Amino acid sequence: MEQEIRVPISSDKNIVNARQKGRSAALAVGFSPGGTALEQEIRVPISSDKDIVDARQKGRSVALAVGFSPGAATLIATAISELARNIVSYAKSGEIVIQALHGSPRLGIQVIARDQGPGIHDIKQALRDGFSTSGSLGLGLPGVKRLMDEFQIDSRENRGTTVMVKKWKQ
């Protein structure tokens, strides 16, 4: 992206062409479609079901801005929805932190779900498919692990839980 883009202007078609080139250049250097620079992380406080939708929608736009396909963005948004849901269900409140990863050579997205809730008593058990403490479908953690490429969890009883996931652009 070192080179400059020249667009000769002499008709109304050129106007459209120029603004489209400007938009793609902006996206290429890491601006999101809404115009926010992707350098900074996006923090979404989580305490209600509305925040779950907010977090997954923000995650989807960052994923699209990074260049993930709409399909991959849906996978990422679904993982965020599950992580945010765990915060609301088990810890009442916490936060989701979304960040674009554009260190060479790969592009990707990182999502951190953090709470100061009761923590998970048995992480191994929570990562097993079909396990649930609340009689529901479970924490969804094995599913989140499948949706993303990297998965790390740190949980301490009565101190809280932090889950960090990453997905890389193929």
Kindly identify the residues of this chain, within the stretch 125-154, that bind another protein according to CB under 8 A.
Answer: 129-130, 136-138, 140, 142-144, 146-147
Q: Which of 17, 47, 57, 162 binds another protein (CB under 8 A)?
A: 57
Contact 66, 28 (CB under 8 A): no
Burial class (CB in 10 A: 0-12, 13-18, 19+), 135: exposed
Helices 49-66 and 70-86: angle between axes, nearest 10 degrees: 150
Total residues interacting with another protein, rule: CB under 8 A: 27
Asked if 114 is part of the footprint of another protein (rule: CB under 8 A), the reply reads no
Nearest to 46 by CA among 86, 73, 75: 86
Asked if 118 is part of the footprint of another protein (rule: CB under 8 A), the reply reads no
Our CB check for another protein shows the closer of 50 and 106 to be 50
Taking the mean position of all CA atoms in its chain, how far away is CA 19? 28
Q: Which of 58, 85, 114, 166 binds another protein (CB under 8 A)?
A: 85
Residue 155, H or E segment:
strand 150-156
Shortest distance (Å) from residue 43 CB to another protein: 20
Burial class (CB in 10 A: 0-12, 13-18, 19+), 120: buried
Q: Which of 5, 53, 128, 152 binds another protein (CB under 8 A)?
A: 53
**Residues near another protein, by CB under 8 A:** 49-50, 52-53, 56-57, 60, 70-71, 74-75, 77-78, 81-82, 85, 129-130, 136-138, 140, 142-144, 146-147
